[in-house]
């Protein structure tokens, strides 16, 4: 299994320690230097079998606040983490365009939703393939606690 797949599965299993170890081993921490080698770890890698979700999608869906925080803390000059990647699945067009923020909202993860909304790179009103914003999705799904989180 390559490092990108290892990261994805660590996020899927909410293994904060494994994510931390992978990020450290590949020089992807807030204290890393831009010139340090990354060793083949692609934070934006997509799992083909899961709607082409990234590790960030998976961490948000699982409600892994610590993992989401670790990923968001990597400085942009070290690695460009796509914080608004959209899912894609030809077999299920209704799943198109789901962002990590949509994942956190749909699962009712208040603290992960709040963490994402604090990051200026996250698009809070980005639409999924059905034209639904994360706020609309929260309301439709009855996630009242998530609705109380401040959407800008």
pTM of the predicted protein model = 0.91
State pLDDT tens for residues 86-95: 887 655 555 6
Q: Give the DSSP per-residue string, 43-101.
A: TT--BTTTTTB-HHHHHHHHT-HHHHHHHHTS-TTT----SS-----TT-GGGTT--HH
CATH match of 3-147 with 1.25.40.20: yes
Position 40 scores a pLDDT of: 85
Segments making up each domain of the chain, as ranges: 3-147
Low pLDDT (below 70) residues in the chain: 50, 89-95, 152
């Amino acid at each position: 299994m390559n490092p990108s797949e290892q990261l994805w599965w660590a996020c899927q299993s909410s293994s904060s320690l494994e994510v931390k170890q992978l990020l450290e081993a590949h020089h992807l921490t807030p204290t890393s230097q831009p010139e340090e080698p990354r060793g083949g770890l692609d934070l934006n890698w997509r799992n083909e079998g899961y709607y082409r979700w990234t590790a960030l999608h998976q961490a948000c869906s699982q409600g892994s606040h610590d993992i989401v925080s670790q990923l968001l803390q990597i400085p942009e000059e070290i690695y460009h983490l796509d914080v608004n990647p959209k899912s894609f699945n030809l077999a299920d067009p209704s799943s198109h365009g789901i962002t990590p923020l949509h994942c956190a909202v749909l699962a009712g993860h208040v603290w992960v939703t709040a963490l994402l909304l604090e990051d200026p790179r996250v698009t809070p009103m980005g639409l999924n393939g059905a034209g639904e914003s994360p706020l609309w999705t929260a309301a439709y799904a009855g996630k009242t606690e998530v609705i109380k989180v401040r959407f800008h």
